[in-house]
Copies of this chain bind each other. A is one copy, B any other.
Amino acid sequence: MSALGVAVIGHGFMGRAHSAAWRNAGAAFGLPHYRQQVLVGRSADAVAAAAAAWGWQESATDWRAVLARDDIQIVDICTPGWAHAEIAIAALRAGKHVIVEKPLANSVDEAEQMVEVAAAAARRGVFSMVGFNYRRVPAIALARELIAAGRLGTVRQVRASYLQDWLADDNAPMSWRLRAETAGSGALGDIASHAVDLVQFVLTEQVMEASGALRTFVPQRPGGAGGAEEVTVDDAVWANLRLSGGASASIEASRIATGRKNSLHLEIYGSRGALRFDLERLNELEFFDAMDPLAEQGFRRILVTEPEHPYLKAWWPQGHILGWEHSFSHQVRDFLDCIDQGRAPSPSFAEGLQVQRVLGAIAESSDRNGIRIAV
């Protein structure tokens, strides 16, 4: 099998993280059958410098030209959300396997179109995936395994939160992320989306009903020209979800939670056990086994760095912790494995669309006085 040529489109924060993944996944997992071929961006100089530093063989500025190349089999889209649909659809039609960084798209309409095109492509063996990378954190994968194995019994109550604080300061400047027309929403789409996806993933269940509230605490921020500009997205969001298996989940996401840097936090309570996870300590999973002898029960801190743990055999000896970016290498591994084996990767575009529908229901509930809405 000749090596698959990879193109990453976009060289911002996510382009850089995905580049690191492509640069390292092969070394970790012994997947030499791909080439880090081309990094694509709009500014020729900047993308050339990034390509050189990040391990790409070349750079380019015209993504359409890249899609036309025969030596490119995989297109990994890291542009802002408004460009996802156009590039992804073109790439799938060009027969390229596609990864799209989350969110799948900025609107449900676009997302539905992408799902349709992806389904058609899949019938031709051309695969696609949306980049909810936190599914690939080993502790999260272990959590899902424990739940699937029944170690928690019936899951009843889930508490999820995603707290950051980079907007806690009233003087944090205005940006495209704070305008509804460019970002779609604020904490809702940016980070609550991860929480919603993880809850569904870890439980292997789907949200059936949602209610919620969105709030903006700092309505104006310093704009580029010195004057104040209107913030038109939410700073924080609260949601209550009902899941297909009967559990209730609460979600709280905020970008004004002073002191929380990147705290994606899960607590899952079942009839036989419980789990706790925090992304700021992503190498750890806490597990409470209610089947232990009563006097010995307690939340145990599993350091998820053993060869027996998901993804870990590829890395270092026990106790040598992984970083945030490793989740992207794992994503590359899983994606390539699927292509290799002719299987559809997950999360599919359809899964990405479903998460957006949940987010939509939360926003609608917020607008409609908090009522519960079926998803």
Interface residues of A (CB under 8 A from B): 13, 16-17, 19-20, 23-24, 26-27, 30, 32, 52-55, 142, 146, 152, 156-157, 159, 161, 163-166, 168-170, 211, 213, 215, 217, 236, 238, 240, 246, 248, 250, 252, 254, 256-263, 267, 269-274, 279-283, 285-290, 292, 294-303, 305-306, 308-309, 316-326, 365, 369-372
Contact = CB atoms under 8 A, between A and B. Distances in A.
Contacts of A168: 269, 271, 290
Given A32-B52, A257-B269, A271-B170, A262 B372 contact: no
Contact of A295 (B13, B257, B271, B306): B306
A186 B8 CA distance: 47
A258 B238 CA distance: 23
B26 A24 contact: no
Contact of A369 (B26, B274, B372): B372
A287 to B, nearest CB: 6
A324 B316 contact: yes
B297 A302 contact: yes
B320 A258 contact: no
Contacts of A146: 296
B159 A258 contact: no
20 contacts: A19-B27, A23-B55, A27-B55, A152-B258, A157-B256, A164-B319, A166-B317, A236-B248, A250-B252, A259-B290, A259-B299, A261-B305, A262-B318, A280-B283, A280-B319, A286-B298, A298-B303, A323-B325, A323-B326, A369-B372
